[in-house]
Structure 1
């Protein structure tokens, strides 16, 4: 149509159904606390802290550089991801424009990153060959972490907390649910985790438990009496 070779774009007649995604709210509060405790001795403890507190995607965590982190100001910039493309690990832009964001770091995240940096410096000093990738989360020789290697680390932890079927991505959903549970407005939550629309944010939270529904209806009953 742009070249004026045809008069009508027949592709506009195609009807595409809205895809349905399996959404899991992730870990409840006590299980999230247990994960933080169980991961204390994992060399990637700081990664799990950021996943739970900031709702960062796996690719965002693996692509995070120290140059994107300001420990003094307590901020973190998410501007690239690490993904396997055509069989090779590559740094690519974030998922969407809204995924590129600057997030303030709560104290626990700063402390976890400071400890992680000291650990990484020790690994660098002890390594016979170190590749300085500039990444926050690396292998023991400084190279980018294979996504499958992170999966192996996560599988050990999820079993330890009694959730052998929980996906790593569900930690992102956990962050959203926990923030909404404490009354953080959806548009703020969306900004923290990089959702393009608050409807996506609320879609995760929409799967309320029966007890939550019961509590809500009980409040309405008290209000109407």
Structure 2
């Protein structure tokens, strides 16, 4: 969803590969199901599913969210919970970095986030935290002693 010539437009994805089923962890599936249940309870009517436009996150009318409003809502949510504000796209980087830190095979990480090349996942999205570096060096030190 992008604003083009002053209007919100649903544009095609960057690549054919982008149109895919996205795997989610159970807690994310649960949160989405709860979100849908609350929307249906609040806005739905018998025999009519909510949201009418099919967007998971939208306005109270079921229409797409303005991208700037989504960013504003995200920033407010971070502030309300005392979380450092990062751009929404930064969550993809976080996902890749956390999966790699958990020891998930890079090929699996690549598939989860939909990259076409492992280099993108490893070199652009995979950030190694200082703590992981310390643990690696401590392990090396143990092996050398």
Q: TM-score over 0.5 for the alignment? A: yes
Runs ≥4 in structure 1, deviation > 6 angstroms? none
Query: Per chain length, whose mean CA-contact separation is higher, i.e. which structure has more relative contact order (CA < 8 Å, sep 6+)?
Result: 1
Q: Residue 99 of structure 1 contacts residue 193 of structure 1 at CA under 8 Å; is this kept in 2?
A: no
Between Structure 1 and Structure 2, which shows a larger proportion of strand residues? Answer: 1
**Contact persistence 1:132–1:142 (CA under 8 A):** yes
| TM-score, with length taken from structure 1 | 0.55
Unaligned 5+ segments in structure 1 are: 1-81
Distance 1:123 1:158 in 2: 25
Residue 78 of structure 2 contacts residue 84 of structure 2 at CA under 8 Å; is this kept in 1? yes
**Bigger share in helix:** 2
Contact 2:58–2:65 under 8 Å retained in 1: yes
DSSP 3-state at the match of 1:196: coil
Look at both structures and tell me which one has the larger radius of gyration over its CA atoms: 1
Residues 205, 160 of structure 1: alpha-carbon distance in 2 compared, 3 angstrom cutoff: same
| Residue 111 of structure 2 corresponds to residue 191 of structure 1 | yes
TM-score by length of 2: 0.81
- Verify the 8 A CA contact 1:180 1:186 in the aligned structure 2: yes
CA RMSD in angstroms, aligned pairs only: 2.3
Number of matched pairs: 140
